[in-house]
Amino acid sequence: MPAPTRFHVDLDALHHNLVVARRLAGGRQVLAPVKANAYGHGLVEVARSIQERGTAEWLGIAVTAEGAQLRATGVTLPILKFSPTLPEDLDEAIAADITLSVGDAAAISQAQDAARRAGREVAVHLKIDTGMRRVGAEPVQAEELAEQIVAAANLRLQGVFTHLPISDVDEGDDFTHEQLARFDEVVERIEAVAGQVELVHSANSGAVLGHDLGRTNLIRPGIMVYGSYPDVVGSHPADLRDVGRWTSRVNFVKRINAGESVGYGRTWTAERDTWIATVAVGYGDGYSRLNSSRGRMLIGGVSYPVAGRVCMDQTMIDLGPEPPAVAVGDEVVLIGTSGGQRIGVEELAQLMGTITYEVTCLIAGRVERTY
């Protein structure tokens, strides 16, 4: 039995977006971030499909368990773990053949110890902090750390990378240019002591869409692969396709009288006699409670406003005073198109006061993913 609430992922659209990213990046290699359940789209299915179609050379994850799950399900593409790995996770990460990010001397020696325990060589990417101030080495430490990696018999300095916190908005252009210039200079110094580095990378979606990628030879576009822009405004349009379509079903229809309230807290009161449909989705599915009396849903190409508070498992919408064309079992579109109407991820993000990334990441595990 299909679940009433589903998130359908258009893999053709996702691959199209990967191709667009590569084209914008002048044919550079592509690392597809699949962290956080592939931004909510399904870790294993997305990764496997990328591997089958060959639309990226690398995958990117955030936590060791994601990598272990990918290996357990037959994914053989190289996997870079973006974030630092705690010492107790290193053995599992190395067993799963995850490429590690390192950003200080302690992390390098811990990786070295773990590589020795595993009896094999481990590839690492040295993370340089050029302005994000989150993780990574100070630029002045770059050569010393690179030398430490090169000197470690069981480690291989395969990559050098940095991250760009404001590559997605025009006001950040100067800051990003400075970061990229600093990064170029750091890479030059590293290569002077460590020899040529195989992979040099800095570009997230914002940079792929709007910046000169310089001497880098790999890109890390995430959100654009999933069909959205990193910034809600999006000043660098590209030929991206919608990837996710989130639907639920009507599970009840009733008529209520003017003056009656709908839902918890009695926050919404009918101004006129009207018809209410209840939809089988709530904040327990990741349909944010911030949509209460503010969001809208599509049925048969018609838009209906959310009436009252989003519940954990159900949400009510106002169908209006006329006898409704809507019936129990009808498909309800939360994200996607219906007839000539469209609700984009960015519309929900704007309404919730957040970014597109969070909207799909919040879609709960109980929502069935289909492909």
Ligand X SMILES: *Cc1c(COP(=O)(O)O)cnc(C)c1O
Q: What angle do CA 348, 353, 358 make, to 5 degrees?
A: 65
Among 223, 256, 326, 359, binds ligand X (CB under 6 A): 223
Q: By the 8 A CB rule, do 102 and 84 touch?
A: yes
- Is position 357 annotated as part of the catalytic site? no
Helix (H, G, I), strand (E, B) or coil at 66: helix
> Please, which residues have CB within 8 angstroms of residue 54's CB and are 6 or more apart in sequence?
none
Q: Which of 35, 226, 287, 304 is catalytic?
A: 35
Of 95, 71, 80, nearest to 34 by C-alpha is 80
Quick note: the x/- pattern for ligand X over 17-36, rule CB under 6 A, is ----------------x---
At 68, the amino acid letter reads: A
Question: Alpha helix (H) ranges present in 195-352?
Answer: 205-210, 345-352
Contact status, residue 69 vs residue 52, Cβ threshold 8 Å: no
Mark the segment that binds ligand X (CB under 6 A) among 43-51, 220-228, 232-240, 346-354: 220-228
Which of 268, 337, 349, 347 is closest to 299 using CA atoms?
Answer: 337
Shorter beta-carbon distance to ligand X: residue 318 or 358: 358
Longest Cα separation, the chain: 78
Is 222 or 286 the residue whose CB approaches ligand X more closely? 222
> How many residues make contact with ligand X (CB under 6 A)?
10
Out of 40, 67, 136, 221, the only residue in the binding site for ligand X (CB under 6 A) is 221
Residue 229 vs 287, nearer CB to ligand X: 229
- Quickly tell me which residue has 């079903």 as its tokens: 249
Q: Which of 5, 112, 205, 288 binds ligand X (CB under 6 A)?
A: 205
The piece of 221-229, 268-276, 289-297, 329-337 that touches ligand X (CB under 6 A) is: 221-229
133 is in an annotated binding site: no
* Structure tokens that stand for 163 in this block: 């991250």
Q: Does the annotation count 39 as an active-site position?
A: no
Which position among 40, 42, 131, 222 is part of the footprint of ligand X (CB under 6 A)?
222
Name the residue whose CB lies closest to ligand X: 222
Task: Check residue 227 for interaction with ligand X (CB under 6 A).
Answer: no
> CA 341, CA 344: separation in Å to the nearest integer?
10
Q: 297 by DSSP, 3-state: which? A: strand
- With beta carbons less than 8 A apart as the criterion, state whether 235 and 170 touch: yes
Distance CA 96, CA 190 (A): 28
315 binds ligand X (CB under 6 A): no
Report whether 312 belongs to an annotated binding site.
Answer: yes
Catalytic residue among 127, 264, 304, 371: 264
User: Residue 79, interface with ligand X (CB under 6 A)?
Assistant: no
Segment 115-174, which members bind ligand X (CB under 6 A)? 163
Which helix (H) or strand (E) is 38 found in, with range? helix 35-39
- For residues 261 and 271, give the distance between their C-alpha atoms in angstroms, rounded to a whole number: 9
Residue owning tokens 């070295």? 112
- Which residue in the set 204, 247, 291, 360 belongs to the binding site for ligand X (CB under 6 A)? 204
Per DSSP, what are the bridge partners of residue 337?
Answer: 342
- Over the window 33 to 52, marking each residue x when it contacts ligand X by CB under 6 A and - when it does not, the resulting string is x-------------------
Nearer residue to ligand X within complex by CB, 123 or 262: 123
**Least distance to ligand X from the beta carbon of 246, Å?**
19
Residue 85 binds to ligand X (criterion: CB under 6 A): no
Restricting to residues 228-287, name those near ligand X by CB under 6 A: 230
Binding region for ligand X (CB under 6 A): 33, 82, 163, 204-205, 220-223, 230
Which residues are identified as catalytic? 35, 264
Residues forming the annotated binding site for substrate? 134, 312
